[in-house]
Structure 1
Amino acid sequence: MNISTNMHPQRRSAMVGLGAWNDMIITDYLDQAVSISPDSAALITYRVSEDARTTLSYRELDRIVTRMAAGLASLGVEKADVVSCQLPNWWQMTALHLACVRIGAILNPLMPIFRERELAFMLGHAQSRVLVIPHSFRGFNYAAMVHGMRTELPDLEHVLVIGGDDSANCFEQVLLEQPWEERIDTRALFAERRLGGDDVIQLLYTSGTTGEPKGVLHTSNTLLSNVRPYAERLHLSSDDIIFMASPMAHQTGFLYGLMMPIYLQTTAVLQDIWDPLYAVKVTAAEKPTFTMASTPFLADLIDIAPSHRDALASLRIFVAAGAPIPEALVEKAGSAVNAQIISAWGMTENGAVTMTRPEDDAERAIHSDGLALPFMEVQVIDDHGQLMPSGVEGNLMVRGASLFVGYLKRPELYGVDDHGWFTTGDLARIDAQGYIRITGRTKDVVIRGGENVPVVEIENLLYKHPAISAVALVGCPDQRLGERVCAYVTLHDGHSSLTLEDITAFLLEQRLTKNYLPEYLEVLPALPRTPSGKIQKFKLREQAATIRLGTAKR
């Protein structure tokens, strides 16, 4: 597939001049690690449901990557082809990305929670040639789901199933048990397929205001120019061990659980299902020093930490993002764990953009979302493009090295002005020291547990319900998840009632992901509107802020 980007020549020259882009790719760092410490652990993975631990050294990982890359090429994967995967935090995802980079393919990670509706769009839009899935995970049969979708996906030539029982589609039999590297001159293949720093290596879908997912395109330069200053700000080195339980199909897990450990030439410890007690067990065994996750993960860990302080003693840094950190949580963390709590803000389009520093006092993590990382800039403007004074809320703009290079097949949505500023859709203020605080969102999404909920898509589905005349979804605050989805509706004449169970069943029939289901429903005689008829969601958000979800009619 021909991938076009919005890369501007002046941007490249500016970023190279700053030293932000060095044209290295992740396999260069893999090569360095194999050369310097081949027998050091690259990956230690835990499958929670099976209580299974797997370890791969850098030498073993490199051997597997070489075989997989040659195998993918033998299956017909060409340079710039899209290889999708819907995988938990298993070693196969790290190996698959490295294998794709070796042969110039683009990895498209997909969240394991996605079902037919989301997958059909994303795989079709990406024109994915290969899809790698588990046979089953958390009791769900992915192989059966994808089998039922094949007729909708004419470009999808290969579905490789980890743990599959069909030899023709079994990931292990097709890619790992065949000596592909003996049948192909891999040195010549990899040299021919060598990527430049500005070639696209990642396609990651994010939900936006349009209700249709957008395919974010990143290069080695944009991603690694985020990883390097991120690690430097936190003073991370090869002596650190990285623990990642956040999904690697999210930018957080991908950048800091997949790429950063290889850049640092250190060990990544991966956990595939979030379970705080299991995380304590893993931490006690592997002694990680760093982790990053959304605020609910931190809340869960802090709740049980007082009984496991010694087991968690190795953690030095916990970066929390995805929602503001409640003050009480930081105070509780101070007495429960040794780790310093760092606050961060970012987007799929950028990775982490702002972050507090280990040198900052705890108040900074509570009351701000940090300073811009090196090679990144932020500014707050009004609706007319004028800079806002210190401490005054406005529209948050971002520019710099880790800014993505476009949306797949939708260049018109890029949203970057002639000076390189990207409109984030967030509202924020900046203090005199340059620390930002996210204060709201102009874009219409709800962030539940760090996951963007595609509000418009769900509203469009609910408009199909025979009883619903009008609908508006907003987020109501939740201390653990950040927000939960609340639905406000009006009914057509002739319909006197509607329950949460009714809309839940309806949305499941529409094959909506369960994590996106509303958790509160209120039927109103009318939705608040402007004189022009636009629904005033800010009034509904004010109303939702008073909801206690124990009253939800599940």
Structure 2
Amino acid sequence: MAKATAHTFPGGEVDEPGLVPYPPDVEARYRAAGLWSGRSLPAELMSAASAHAERTALITPEGSWTYQELFGEAQRFAAGLLESTSLWPGDSMMFQMGNVAETVVSYLGCLLAGVRPVCTLPQHGVREIGVLAEHIGARGLILQADFGRGQLPENARALVASGVIKDVVVARGRTSAFVGYEELLASGAAATPEALPYHRRDPRGIAVFQLSGGTTGLPKIAPRLHEEYAYNARVWARTLGWGNGTVVLYPLPIMHNAGIALALQPALLSGATLALAPSADAGSVLDLIEATRPRVIPLVPPALAIRLLDHPRGRTTDLSSISDFIVGGQKLAEDVAERLRDELGIAVRQKFGMAEGMFLLTPAHAGERVRHHTVGEPLSPADEIRILRPGQDTEVHPGEIGELCVRGPYTIRGYYRAERHNAQAFTADGFYRTGDLARRHLIDGLTCYSIDGRIKDVINRGVEKIHADEVEELIMRHPAISNAALVAMPDKVLGERGCAYLVLEPGEQPLTVRSLGEFLLSQGLAKYKLPERVEVVAGLPLSNVGKVSKKSLREDIEAKLLAEDAAGLLDE
């Protein structure tokens, strides 16, 4: 622990390059209301760990950990990280880890060491990790060696060779050039909470970096601050009534804002138990339901809901423990909600949220008109919502569709190091322009909201967002392609998939989904972002202002899919 030096709090505004702080009057209002604690996020987590020491904190298919055991290992990780690497408090660490216990320990350990986790995914390629690390200034990387096809250590070597990443920690495998997870724990074996620098972290500073958006040009990074991120978790847990005895089953990637803000942190801050599924495979989820008897499954994408309905064990597994089955990611089809109710006995609640902060949730007591057709109301009484005319600052009339714009005690004030983008993404008084089209409803005396589309050019594949401009930029590097556009096509399971419209250079042979995918993988694009259909066209349609009309392309692919479905029915 010799390297760890005291962090000096700045005077006045938080001295964070690239951070847009909350205005003093807004911050004072949230403090006066008791929303912000004045403590760092790891200090709050350690306090909860002490209060719930003997309760079960984490369950995976490989074992379980009490709060005392989990946080004891996190303390050893924190001490070892500062002892065995060149990282200091205030540095940042990229994560490429799956849903394993080591991920939870490493995340908590980084917080205790004052090192900021960057919630990237193991599916991100060398190019994406490199661009993000350079933007944030991250020098560390932790990876899971046995994830997927085992490609992450080789990717890490490329990142180190490029000079982007300096320190790499490897979990669940050995790579001689890097620090091993177990080796790091051993070097921190003598750690005590008092020796760790989390006590000295400024609660107004950045705790965690979350991703929002593509990685072309200027990445959009949401800096989550200690106090607001802790409040985000506390208000979610309080709204859902979590506490001793609550088991929360989470089947989606934990190193994602939803996993951190709606599962890991609220569970640990409230004394609940997190059951971490290794994947969203329906069989694995049903196994953990039988083993752990969860009360809550948050942020279930419609894809998983459909898989549970269609799985042979879906109707034979005892699901009676589940009282909160919360669906998010895409708009839930009413027939899926009704099937869950009628076939599995599950009452659905819907939510809407973002890495930038704001969450909405349908109340448990609300009727099906609210739970099946809206995303409910904001979590906090201090949350503010405006529905504005797109591109303007005037509100639409009640019941009209407009852009969802939000402000509140856990919604960011600006993206990290993105002054030019922030000027467009936020109103003058700090409302975040989400780019989502929404409508305000009054149903049974409840003011609630529905999400009715997007202004932004984003494809929602499952719970992952694919930004079309990022993929298009890489497609255009192909020598056979003269123009390209990526649009969303509807999908019954994932909600949306990507369809690439390609205009070829004269004389070139058409590309296939496979050949285009191989090229994009060679350019460093993550596999989940690959187009899943290719349409070769003579030219792209233009709007009346001369831009590519993606509306026309979406209508075209929807018509093609409908025609193919109809032809399939006729063939049967």
With normalisation by structure 1, the TM-score equals: 0.92
The equivalent position to 1:518 in structure 2, one of 522, 531, 538, is: 531
Report the AA paired with residue 233 of structure 1. Answer: T
2:97 is the alignment partner of 1:87: yes
The equivalent position to 2:166 in structure 1, one of 130, 137, 157, is: 157
Q: Which residue pairs with 1:466 in the alignment?
A: 479
Q: Which residue pairs with 1:4 in the alignment?
A: 18
How far residue 493 of structure 1 moved from its aligned partner, in angstroms, is 2.5
How far residue 89 of structure 1 moved from its aligned partner, in angstroms, is 1.5
2:398 is the alignment partner of 1:385: no
On the 8 A contact 2:286/2:317 being kept in 1, the answer is: no
On the 8 A contact 1:281/1:311 being kept in 2, the answer is: no
Report the AA paired with residue 233 of structure 2. Answer: V
Q: Where do 1:187-266 residues align within 5 Å?
A: 187-190=194-197, 193-208=199-214, 212-266=218-272
- Structure 1 distance, partners of 2:218, 2:529, is 14
Is the alpha carbon distance of 1:551 and 1:170 closer, same or farther for their aligned partners in structure 2, counting shifts above 3 Å?
A: farther
Report the AA paired with residue 551 of structure 2. Answer: F
Is the alpha carbon distance of 1:262 and 1:459 closer, same or farther for their aligned partners in structure 2, counting shifts above 3 Å?
A: same
- Structure 2 distance, partners of 1:18, 1:305, is 50
Q: Which residue pairs with 1:49 in the alignment?
A: none
Q: Structure 1 vs Structure 2: percent identity of aligned residues?
A: 27
2:87 is the alignment partner of 1:73: no
- Structure 1 distance, partners of 2:554, 2:219, is 24
On the 8 A contact 2:57/2:65 being kept in 1, the answer is: yes
Q: Which residue pairs with 1:315 in the alignment?
A: 322
Comparing 60-69 with 318-327, which one deviates more in the overlay? 60-69
How far residue 380 of structure 1 moved from its aligned partner, in angstroms, is 0.7
Report the AA paired with residue 214 of structure 1. Answer: K
Comparing 29-38 with 414-423, which one deviates more in the overlay? 29-38
On the 8 A contact 1:23/1:220 being kept in 2, the answer is: no
- Structure 1 distance, partners of 2:372, 2:158, is 47
1:439 is paired with a residue whose SS is strand
2:303 is the alignment partner of 1:296: yes
Comparing 309-318 with 297-306, which one deviates more in the overlay? 297-306
2:50 is the alignment partner of 1:35: yes
How far residue 221 of structure 1 moved from its aligned partner, in angstroms, is 1.9
How far residue 426 of structure 1 moved from its aligned partner, in angstroms, is 1.0
- Structure 1 distance, partners of 2:140, 2:30, is 33
Comparing 294-303 with 252-261, which one deviates more in the overlay? 294-303
Report the AA paired with residue 27 of structure 2. Answer: R
On the 8 A contact 1:380/1:397 being kept in 2, the answer is: yes
Q: Where do 1:127-142 residues align within 5 Å?
A: 127-142=137-152
Q: Which residue pairs with 2:11 in the alignment?
A: none
Is the alpha carbon distance of 1:168 and 1:508 closer, same or farther for their aligned partners in structure 2, counting shifts above 3 Å?
A: closer
On the 8 A contact 1:69/1:103 being kept in 2, the answer is: yes
2:363 is paired with a residue whose SS is coil
On the 8 A contact 1:330/1:362 being kept in 2, the answer is: no
Q: Which residue pairs with 1:328 in the alignment?
A: 335
Is the alpha carbon distance of 1:511 and 1:34 closer, same or farther for their aligned partners in structure 2, counting shifts above 3 Å?
A: closer
Q: Which residue pairs with 1:358 in the alignment?
A: 364
2:29 is the alignment partner of 1:14: yes
- Structure 1 distance, partners of 2:312, 2:45, is 35
With normalisation by structure 2, the TM-score equals: 0.89
- Structure 1 distance, partners of 2:273, 2:544, is 58
On the 8 A contact 2:461/2:497 being kept in 1, the answer is: yes
Is the alpha carbon distance of 1:92 and 1:447 closer, same or farther for their aligned partners in structure 2, counting shifts above 3 Å?
A: same
- Structure 2 distance, partners of 1:186, 1:157, is 27
2:520 is the alignment partner of 1:507: yes
How far residue 542 of structure 1 moved from its aligned partner, in angstroms, is 1.6
Q: Which residue pairs with 2:39 in the alignment?
A: 24
On the 8 A contact 1:89/1:270 being kept in 2, the answer is: yes
Q: Which residue pairs with 1:411 in the alignment?
A: 419
Q: Which residue pairs with 2:60 in the alignment?
A: 45
Superposed CA offset, 1:369-404 (max 9, x none): 211221212111114321111221111101101112
How far residue 405 of structure 1 moved from its aligned partner, in angstroms, is 4.2
- Structure 1 distance, partners of 2:393, 2:535, is 38
Report the AA paired with residue 180 of structure 2. Answer: F
- Structure 1 distance, partners of 2:81, 2:181, is 13
- Structure 1 distance, partners of 2:98, 2:92, is 19
Comparing 210-219 with 302-311, which one deviates more in the overlay? 302-311
Unmatched tracts of structure 1, length 5 or more: 47-52
Q: Which residue pairs with 2:118 in the alignment?
A: 108
- Structure 1 distance, partners of 2:516, 2:534, is 9
Comparing 359-368 with 19-28, which one deviates more in the overlay? 19-28
On the 8 A contact 1:340/1:358 being kept in 2, the answer is: no
Q: Which residue pairs with 1:145 in the alignment?
A: 155
1:149 is paired with a residue whose SS is helix
Q: Where do 1:112-131 residues align within 5 Å?
A: 112-131=122-141
- For the aligned residue pairs, the C-alpha RMSD in angstroms reads 2.4
Superposed CA offset, 1:70-90 (max 9, x none): 112223422211022111112
2:185 is the alignment partner of 1:176: yes
Q: Where do 1:50-61 residues align within 5 Å?
A: 53-61=62-70
Q: Which residue pairs with 1:485 in the alignment?
A: 498
Is the alpha carbon distance of 1:263 and 1:430 closer, same or farther for their aligned partners in structure 2, counting shifts above 3 Å?
A: same
- Structure 2 distance, partners of 1:363, 1:305, is 30
Superposed CA offset, 1:221-278 (max 9, x none): 2212222222222233222111111111211111122101111112111112221011
Superposed CA offset, 1:417-461 (max 9, x none): 232211111111111342111111111111101101121011111
How far residue 517 of structure 1 moved from its aligned partner, in angstroms, is 1.0
Report the AA paired with residue 329 of structure 1. Answer: V
- Structure 2 distance, partners of 1:65, 1:307, is 36
Comparing 293-302 with 168-177, which one deviates more in the overlay? 168-177
Is the alpha carbon distance of 1:79 and 1:475 closer, same or farther for their aligned partners in structure 2, counting shifts above 3 Å?
A: same
- Structure 1 distance, partners of 2:497, 2:217, is 18
Comparing 165-174 with 96-105, which one deviates more in the overlay? 165-174
Report the AA paired with residue 402 of structure 1. Answer: Y
How far residue 5 of structure 1 moved from its aligned partner, in angstroms, is 1.2
Q: Which residue pairs with 2:3 in the alignment?
A: none
On the 8 A contact 1:343/1:369 being kept in 2, the answer is: yes
On the 8 A contact 1:322/1:345 being kept in 2, the answer is: yes
On the 8 A contact 1:490/1:524 being kept in 2, the answer is: yes
How far residue 188 of structure 1 moved from its aligned partner, in angstroms, is 4.1
Report the AA paired with residue 216 of structure 1. Answer: A
2:551 is the alignment partner of 1:538: yes
On the 8 A contact 1:88/1:248 being kept in 2, the answer is: yes
How far residue 281 of structure 1 moved from its aligned partner, in angstroms, is 0.8
Is the alpha carbon distance of 1:226 and 1:171 closer, same or farther for their aligned partners in structure 2, counting shifts above 3 Å?
A: same
Report the AA paired with residue 226 of structure 1. Answer: N
How far residue 220 of structure 1 moved from its aligned partner, in angstroms, is 1.9
On the 8 A contact 2:376/2:449 being kept in 1, the answer is: yes
Q: Which residue pairs with 2:488 in the alignment?
A: 475
2:209 is paired with a residue whose SS is strand
Comparing 418-427 with 294-303, which one deviates more in the overlay? 294-303
On the 8 A contact 1:368/1:436 being kept in 2, the answer is: yes
On the 8 A contact 2:76/2:186 being kept in 1, the answer is: no
2:190 is paired with a residue whose SS is helix
Comparing 458-467 with 159-168, which one deviates more in the overlay? 159-168
Superposed CA offset, 1:159-205 (max 9, x none): 111123245634334311224425xx7514437x5223211111122
Unmatched tracts of structure 2, length 5 or more: 1-14, 566-572
Q: Which residue pairs with 2:12 in the alignment?
A: none
- Structure 1 distance, partners of 2:318, 2:554, is 41
The equivalent position to 2:281 in structure 1, one of 275, 286, 299, is: 275
